Structure 1
């Protein structure tokens, strides 16, 4: 009979691409994981892994076993969480993650609302960007995450997860009050082809959106400043150092800047989602998800 823990290890190797990654996901040492996988090969009477000095990959038999093991592991997870879900919200625990701007306007108010109704619920929070939050939910390090997805970019891998739409956050252009278009209300990005642009430091998120939107409008943006904080971005615009595309929810009115609607290119927006595991039926997770949906309705 095949051991369920060892099957879980093999599935984790498939998901992470390494024995070390599988060991980290299941909370054991790489050496212990390797030993257990060797036992699983003896139990299965087949070579499940192709090992080399620097890497490991599933053999043909290993891939077949993983395909059969996934529903078994998911079923065990559902069974365990169904037992836990029999308890009350007050007796539960929930680990939450979110990107920064949603934390302020959406997640913190929802968690506060839940705490008022269930003061004994153990809630913890970690700030994570979507590229880190989604794997954290899948691997069980986080129970619920609020994430965003920019229009025009590939959606993250949602296998085993349940993403639910909360709201759509349009992108707008922030310009200095001295800009000739500051009084227009609505503008086209191509009108700012010669402008200096302020964007992020990473290759994801609003830096990538800025560059993609500019290219759709027919020009390559001249990035003159980079900052990860939207507050810093707005300060730089106010100082006259350039213009910036920002999600509208991040805009805080201040002297020296103007927020303008963008008419072309279309679909400049990000969608915000709450992500949980398909197999997680915890009443605490369900209660916070409902609180987030209720709060998001007031922000739309």
Structure 2
């Protein structure tokens, strides 16, 4: 493989006419430069310079290589500048994914801060649920994903991925306002054993969340409505179709319902992570992770 330092010496010999002048440009002695040029000849198995006691000139092979050295070295210089720009957050790109409630709650503000402070980094965002985001991370099409897991449900396959815990949020019970208890304060899920329940679709991957919490409270929920998203669950609760467990970030204010804290722990919580590839040490990823923490403090 061609050594860029030796190529630079040959190029400078061609432009200055002497090894001494090329050595001065390289910041080394003429003897060291001569040794490097001789090593370049050995690497290629070709004579590049015709040396005499008083002068040096390029052979035909040397001229051909010197002509090619310019574009090659320019490409290397450009690559080095691009790497330095990325390392200094003056270039490159950052691809982010997050699920909807996190995106609305704190990811978008964090992205806004990132874009304001690092305008030269191309920022791309895709809304993805956690089950969709993890394969995209592994494939390299996403650099950072805000994901969630419901404890104590089984964990996903995280081989090759790192997770930074961002927020451990409790579950609340969304109840139609007309059915809310008169007394304020935390409630026991068992008090709603006879209610109709709104829960996730069985295709969401977390379909067992409501069932698990209710069973921990000592009853089997009567699920009459299944939905894909928390906004839809809240809409159904507000319309009087049942009650629903929702994480705190999803508990947005809506007319016709109230969000009640749960007194007796169900063991069910939602843990939110910043998930990245283990091998990725991108400065952009590190900075956005810090902005996510800051935006969460504001949101919660």
Using the size of structure 1 for normalisation, the TM-score is 0.68
Please, which runs of 5 or more residues in structure 2 have no aligned partner? 1-82
Are the equivalent residues in 1 in contact too, given 2:86–2:92 (CA < 8 A)? no
Residues 133/84 of structure 1: CA separation in 2 closer, same or farther (3 Å cut) = farther
Residues 252/276 of structure 1: CA separation in 2 closer, same or farther (3 Å cut) = same
- Return 126-135 or 259-268, whichever deviates more: 259-268
Quote the Cα distance in structure 1 between the aligned partners of 2:96 and 2:143. 6
1:270-300 alpha-carbon deviations (Å, 9 max, x no partner): 0110011111111111111121122223334
Listed as ranges, the matches of 1:124-139 within 5 Å are 124-139=124-139
Shift of 1:215: 1.5
Residues 124/182 of structure 1: CA separation in 2 closer, same or farther (3 Å cut) = farther
User: 2:123 maps to what in 1?
Assistant: 123
User: 1:287 maps to what in 2?
Assistant: 287
Residues 246/117 of structure 1: CA separation in 2 closer, same or farther (3 Å cut) = same
User: 2:98 maps to what in 1?
Assistant: 98
User: 2:260 maps to what in 1?
Assistant: 260
Are the equivalent residues in 1 in contact too, given 2:180–2:258 (CA < 8 A)? no
Aligned pairs, how many? 220
Shift of 1:207: 3.3
Are the equivalent residues in 2 in contact too, given 1:171–1:269 (CA < 8 A)? yes
Quote the Cα distance in structure 2 between the aligned partners of 1:266 and 1:193. 14
Q: Secondary structure at the match of 2:108?
A: helix
Quote the Cα distance in structure 2 between the aligned partners of 1:287 and 1:232. 34
Please, which runs of 5 or more residues in structure 1 have no aligned partner? 1-82
- Return 282-291 or 92-101, whichever deviates more: 282-291
Using the size of structure 2 for normalisation, the TM-score is 0.68
Shift of 1:91: 0.3
Q: Secondary structure at the match of 1:199?
A: strand
Listed as ranges, the matches of 1:17-32 within 5 Å are none
User: 2:227 maps to what in 1?
Assistant: 227
Are the equivalent residues in 1 in contact too, given 2:213–2:267 (CA < 8 A)? no
Quote the Cα distance in structure 2 between the aligned partners of 1:238 and 1:215. 24
Greater radius of gyration (CA) = 2
Are the equivalent residues in 2 in contact too, given 1:182–1:260 (CA < 8 A)? no
Are the equivalent residues in 2 in contact too, given 1:197–1:244 (CA < 8 A)? yes
1:156-208 alpha-carbon deviations (Å, 9 max, x no partner): 22222110011111100011122152544211111111110011213445532
Please tell me the root mean square deviation across aligned C-alpha atoms, in Å.
2.2
